[in-house]
Amino acid sequence: MPACNPSSRVETGECEFEEAASVNIAAITALQALRDKGKVQPGQKVLINGASGGVGTFAVQIAKSLGADVTGVCSTRNVDLVKSLGADHVIDYTKEDFTKGAERYDVMLDNVGNHSLSECKGVLTPTGKYVLIGGGGASDQGFLGGLGKALWAMVFSKFVNQQMGMMMADANHNDLTILADMMQSGKLKPVIDRTYKLDQVPDAIRYVEQGHARGKVVITVE
Protein backbone atom coordinates (compact mmCIF):
# COMPACT_ATOMS: atom_id res chain seq x y z
CA MET A 1 0.00 0.00 0.00
CA PRO A 2 1.96 3.02 -1.24
CA ALA A 3 2.10 6.01 1.05
CA CYS A 4 3.78 9.40 0.70
CA ASN A 5 4.86 10.37 -2.77
CA PRO A 6 8.66 10.79 -2.88
CA SER A 7 8.22 14.33 -4.15
CA SER A 8 6.14 15.42 -1.14
CA ARG A 9 7.60 17.93 1.31
CA VAL A 10 7.18 18.37 5.02
CA GLU A 11 6.03 21.95 4.57
CA THR A 12 3.00 20.85 2.53
CA GLY A 13 1.59 19.01 5.53
CA GLU A 14 1.28 15.79 3.48
CA CYS A 15 2.41 12.73 5.43
CA GLU A 16 4.08 15.06 7.94
CA PHE A 17 4.18 12.57 10.81
CA GLU A 18 5.29 9.67 8.61
CA GLU A 19 8.08 11.75 7.09
CA ALA A 20 9.25 12.97 10.49
CA ALA A 21 9.28 9.39 11.78
CA SER A 22 11.45 8.26 8.88
CA VAL A 23 14.25 10.74 9.65
CA ASN A 24 15.52 9.51 13.01
CA ILE A 25 18.38 7.00 12.69
CA ALA A 26 18.34 6.66 8.87
CA ALA A 27 18.91 10.33 8.02
CA ILE A 28 21.15 10.86 11.04
CA THR A 29 23.23 7.87 9.95
CA ALA A 30 23.60 9.28 6.44
CA LEU A 31 24.52 12.74 7.74
CA GLN A 32 27.11 11.53 10.23
CA ALA A 33 28.58 8.96 7.84
CA LEU A 34 29.18 11.57 5.14
CA ARG A 35 29.96 14.66 7.19
CA ASP A 36 31.85 13.17 10.15
CA LYS A 37 33.23 9.81 9.03
CA GLY A 38 33.67 10.51 5.32
CA LYS A 39 34.44 14.21 5.82
CA VAL A 40 32.96 14.94 2.40
CA GLN A 41 34.14 18.17 0.80
CA PRO A 42 32.71 20.12 -2.16
CA GLY A 43 33.81 18.65 -5.48
CA GLN A 44 34.70 15.23 -4.10
CA LYS A 45 33.37 12.09 -5.73
CA VAL A 46 31.09 10.02 -3.51
CA LEU A 47 29.80 6.52 -4.23
CA ILE A 48 26.70 5.30 -2.40
CA ASN A 49 26.18 1.55 -2.60
CA GLY A 50 22.51 0.88 -1.85
CA ALA A 51 21.32 4.34 -2.89
CA SER A 52 17.61 3.48 -2.95
CA GLY A 53 17.32 2.15 0.61
CA GLY A 54 16.49 3.86 3.88
CA VAL A 55 19.91 5.37 4.54
CA GLY A 56 20.83 5.56 0.86
CA THR A 57 17.99 7.85 -0.23
CA PHE A 58 18.95 10.32 2.47
CA ALA A 59 22.66 9.93 1.71
CA VAL A 60 22.27 10.88 -1.96
CA GLN A 61 20.58 14.14 -1.02
CA ILE A 62 22.93 14.98 1.85
CA ALA A 63 26.02 14.29 -0.25
CA LYS A 64 24.67 16.67 -2.90
CA SER A 65 23.99 19.31 -0.27
CA LEU A 66 27.64 18.99 0.80
CA GLY A 67 28.68 19.78 -2.78
CA ALA A 68 29.79 16.29 -3.82
CA ASP A 69 29.60 14.62 -7.21
CA VAL A 70 27.35 11.68 -6.34
CA THR A 71 27.14 8.23 -7.88
CA GLY A 72 24.36 5.94 -6.65
CA VAL A 73 24.26 2.17 -7.03
CA CYS A 74 20.84 0.53 -7.20
CA SER A 75 18.67 -1.92 -9.15
CA THR A 76 17.00 -1.16 -12.49
CA ARG A 77 13.62 -0.30 -10.99
CA ASN A 78 15.16 2.34 -8.73
CA VAL A 79 17.36 4.17 -11.25
CA ASP A 80 14.82 6.93 -11.89
CA LEU A 81 14.18 7.36 -8.16
CA VAL A 82 17.88 7.82 -7.37
CA LYS A 83 18.24 10.28 -10.25
CA SER A 84 15.26 12.25 -8.93
CA LEU A 85 17.03 12.59 -5.57
CA GLY A 86 19.91 14.41 -7.25
CA ALA A 87 22.48 11.73 -8.07
CA ASP A 88 24.84 12.86 -10.83
CA HIS A 89 25.41 9.28 -11.98
CA VAL A 90 23.54 6.04 -11.35
CA ILE A 91 24.96 2.54 -11.73
CA ASP A 92 22.48 -0.30 -12.25
CA TYR A 93 24.11 -3.19 -10.41
CA THR A 94 22.15 -5.74 -12.46
CA LYS A 95 24.03 -4.52 -15.55
CA GLU A 96 27.33 -3.22 -14.24
CA ASP A 97 29.72 -4.04 -11.37
CA PHE A 98 30.98 -0.74 -9.98
CA THR A 99 34.08 -2.44 -8.54
CA LYS A 100 35.23 -3.24 -12.08
CA GLY A 101 34.85 0.31 -13.38
CA ALA A 102 37.65 2.83 -13.96
CA GLU A 103 36.20 5.59 -11.75
CA ARG A 104 37.79 6.28 -8.36
CA TYR A 105 35.97 7.84 -5.43
CA ASP A 106 37.00 9.97 -2.47
CA VAL A 107 34.33 8.44 -0.27
CA MET A 108 32.36 5.22 -0.54
CA LEU A 109 29.30 4.79 1.66
CA ASP A 110 28.39 1.09 1.77
CA ASN A 111 24.85 0.32 2.89
CA VAL A 112 24.87 -3.21 1.47
CA GLY A 113 28.19 -4.89 2.18
CA ASN A 114 27.95 -7.14 -0.87
CA HIS A 115 31.54 -6.69 -2.07
CA SER A 116 34.83 -7.64 -0.44
CA LEU A 117 36.94 -5.00 1.26
CA SER A 118 39.70 -5.44 -1.34
CA GLU A 119 37.16 -4.80 -4.13
CA CYS A 120 35.92 -1.68 -2.33
CA LYS A 121 39.48 -0.48 -1.73
CA GLY A 122 40.03 -0.74 -5.47
CA VAL A 123 37.44 1.94 -6.25
CA LEU A 124 38.89 4.46 -3.80
CA THR A 125 41.44 7.17 -4.45
CA PRO A 126 44.80 6.68 -2.68
CA THR A 127 43.50 8.64 0.32
CA GLY A 128 39.85 7.64 -0.03
CA LYS A 129 37.51 6.67 2.79
CA TYR A 130 35.29 3.58 2.98
CA VAL A 131 32.36 3.81 5.42
CA LEU A 132 30.38 0.65 6.18
CA ILE A 133 26.94 1.25 7.66
CA GLY A 134 25.90 -0.89 10.62
CA GLY A 135 28.05 -3.93 9.91
CA GLY A 136 27.03 -4.78 6.37
CA GLY A 137 24.18 -6.73 4.84
CA ALA A 138 21.48 -8.48 6.86
CA SER A 139 22.20 -11.76 5.06
CA ASP A 140 25.87 -11.88 6.08
CA GLN A 141 26.67 -15.25 7.60
CA GLY A 142 29.21 -16.52 10.07
CA PHE A 143 29.71 -16.37 13.81
CA LEU A 144 29.66 -12.57 13.93
CA GLY A 145 27.35 -12.02 10.96
CA GLY A 146 27.69 -8.56 9.43
CA LEU A 147 29.76 -7.36 12.40
CA GLY A 148 32.60 -9.59 11.23
CA LYS A 149 33.11 -7.49 8.11
CA ALA A 150 33.07 -4.32 10.18
CA LEU A 151 35.79 -5.66 12.48
CA TRP A 152 37.85 -6.84 9.53
CA ALA A 153 37.54 -3.38 7.95
CA MET A 154 39.13 -1.85 11.04
CA VAL A 155 42.05 -4.29 10.82
CA PHE A 156 42.34 -3.97 7.04
CA SER A 157 42.55 -0.18 7.34
CA LYS A 158 45.83 -0.43 9.26
CA PHE A 159 47.60 -1.95 6.26
CA VAL A 160 46.40 0.42 3.52
CA ASN A 161 46.50 4.16 2.89
CA GLN A 162 42.73 4.43 2.68
CA GLN A 163 40.57 4.75 5.78
CA MET A 164 38.14 1.84 6.12
CA GLY A 165 35.70 1.29 8.94
CA MET A 166 32.14 1.08 10.21
CA MET A 167 29.99 3.73 11.83
CA MET A 168 26.87 3.68 13.97
CA ALA A 169 24.54 6.65 14.34
CA ASP A 170 24.61 8.87 17.41
CA ALA A 171 21.11 10.33 17.67
CA ASN A 172 21.27 13.87 18.98
CA HIS A 173 19.15 17.01 19.00
CA ASN A 174 21.58 19.16 17.03
CA ASP A 175 21.65 16.84 14.01
CA LEU A 176 17.88 16.39 14.09
CA THR A 177 17.59 20.18 13.97
CA ILE A 178 19.95 20.33 10.97
CA LEU A 179 17.89 17.68 9.16
CA ALA A 180 14.63 19.43 10.01
CA ASP A 181 15.99 22.67 8.52
CA MET A 182 17.05 20.81 5.38
CA MET A 183 13.57 19.33 5.03
CA GLN A 184 11.89 22.68 5.51
CA SER A 185 14.14 24.27 2.87
CA GLY A 186 13.45 21.46 0.39
CA LYS A 187 17.02 20.13 0.39
CA LEU A 188 15.94 16.84 1.94
CA LYS A 189 12.82 14.81 1.18
CA PRO A 190 12.09 11.49 2.86
CA VAL A 191 11.17 8.62 0.56
CA ILE A 192 8.51 6.41 2.11
CA ASP A 193 7.85 3.16 0.33
CA ARG A 194 4.96 1.84 2.40
CA THR A 195 3.13 2.44 5.64
CA TYR A 196 1.65 -0.29 7.83
CA LYS A 197 -0.73 -0.13 10.75
CA LEU A 198 0.43 -1.33 14.15
CA ASP A 199 -1.32 -4.69 13.79
CA GLN A 200 0.51 -5.20 10.47
CA VAL A 201 4.01 -5.10 11.96
CA PRO A 202 4.77 -8.74 11.00
CA ASP A 203 3.91 -7.90 7.37
CA ALA A 204 6.16 -4.84 7.53
CA ILE A 205 9.06 -6.88 8.89
CA ARG A 206 8.65 -9.52 6.20
CA TYR A 207 8.65 -6.82 3.52
CA VAL A 208 11.79 -5.14 4.86
CA GLU A 209 13.58 -8.49 5.18
CA GLN A 210 13.14 -9.04 1.45
CA GLY A 211 15.70 -6.27 0.99
CA HIS A 212 13.86 -4.38 -1.74
CA ALA A 213 12.25 -1.51 0.17
CA ARG A 214 12.62 1.89 -1.52
CA GLY A 215 13.43 4.40 1.18
CA LYS A 216 11.70 3.82 4.49
CA VAL A 217 8.84 1.64 5.72
CA VAL A 218 6.81 3.34 8.46
CA ILE A 219 4.46 1.99 11.12
CA THR A 220 1.50 4.28 11.75
CA VAL A 221 -0.33 4.43 15.08
CA GLU A 222 -3.97 5.49 14.99
pLDDT of 15 over the 70 cut: no
Q: Which residue type is seen at 150? A: A
Instruction: Give the per-residue pLDDT at 150.
Output: 58
Residue 159's pLDDT is 54
Q: What is the per-residue pLDDT for 105?
A: 98
Note whether 129 and 93 are within 8 A (CB). Answer: no
| Backbone φ, ψ for residue 18 (5° rounding) | -65, -40
Angle formed by the axes of helices 173-184 and 54-65, nearest 10°: 70
Q: Which of 42-51, 132-141, 162-171, 200-209 has the lowest mean pLDDT?
A: 132-141
Region 139-154: mean pLDDT is 52
Assign 71 to helix, strand or coil: strand
- Residue-wise pLDDT for 67-94, tens only, equals 999 999 999 999 999 999 999 999 999 9
Residues 6+ apart with CB under 8 A from 31: 58, 62, 175, 178, 179
User: How confident is the model over 54-63, as pLDDT tens digits?
Assistant: 999 999 999 9
Alpha helical stretches, state H, the chain: 16-23, 26-32, 54-65, 79-84, 117-121, 146-157, 173-184, 201-209
- Percent of the chain surpassing pLDDT 90: 53
End-to-end CA distance of the chain: 16
